[in-house]
Chains A and B, each alone.
Chain A
Amino acid sequence: ETGVTQSPTHLIKTRGQQVTLRCSSQSGHNTVSWYQQALGQGPQFIFQYYREEENGRGNFPPRFSGLQFPNYSSELNVNALELDDSALYLCASSLDREVQETQYFGPGTRLLVL
């Protein structure tokens, strides 16, 4: 069974640029959630995708957007990057969108905005 994978592992961008992060869900999982984790903090929920539709969103501005594909992989796009966007971006997949389902995390993408 393949776990959650993310790419790239590290990324350096400059302020104002745009970035796309990718996530492949665990085999058999149809739901993907994205989190942002700043240094020394717990992860913060960005949004969730279920069967290619956004299924919930946290307190993040519209410049954070996403997609889910028919194979349940997902992308996180961030436009007009700001210095505070520097963080570890985590993708988590779950078997279904039901709230009791455990979310399994990938290794993360470390984004640095200069």
Chain B
Amino acid sequence: EDQVTQSPEALRLQEGESSSLNCSYTVSGLRGLFWYRQDPGKGPDFLFTLYSAGEEKEKERLKATLTKKESFLHITAPKPEDSATYLCAVRAYGGSQGNLIFGKGTKLSVKP
């Protein structure tokens, strides 16, 4: 069964303290891995799409990387406004059309 596991469930950082969020996936064949940011009570905002192992994408303080089994979201020198839940999702071969399989997310809190 295709599944996505994110760790840790929650992460507290001080402003400027860099860290990484992990997304491990088990799929029959990966067609794409997606990172989203979700603020409380809002819909997810798109961050990155990764398609193949070794691929990296960057945006401001965020950098996403992909291996054959997992993806990391690296946060460099975070600010309080980076506080949110970060969701990882995959799309797999053989899955129902349009189906993004999501992890439960990592809730990030950045204290000033």
The interface of chain A, by Cβ under 8 A from chain B, is: 4, 6, 31, 33, 35, 40-45, 47-48, 50, 55-58, 88, 90, 94, 97, 99-100, 102-108, 110
Q: From A48, A88, A104, A110, give the contact of B98 (CB < 8 A).
A: A48
Contact A45 B99 (CB under 8 A): yes
B57 within 8 A of A: no
Chain B residues within an 8 Å CB radius of A57: 96
Interface residues contributed by chain B, number (CB under 8 Å):
26
Listed stretches B13-21, B28-36, B62-70; interface member: B28-36
The interface of chain B, by Cβ under 8 A from chain A, is: 4, 31-32, 34, 36, 41-46, 49, 51, 87, 89, 91, 96-105
Q: From A42, A50, A58, A107, give the contact of B87 (CB < 8 A).
A: A42
Contact B31 A100 (CB under 8 A): yes
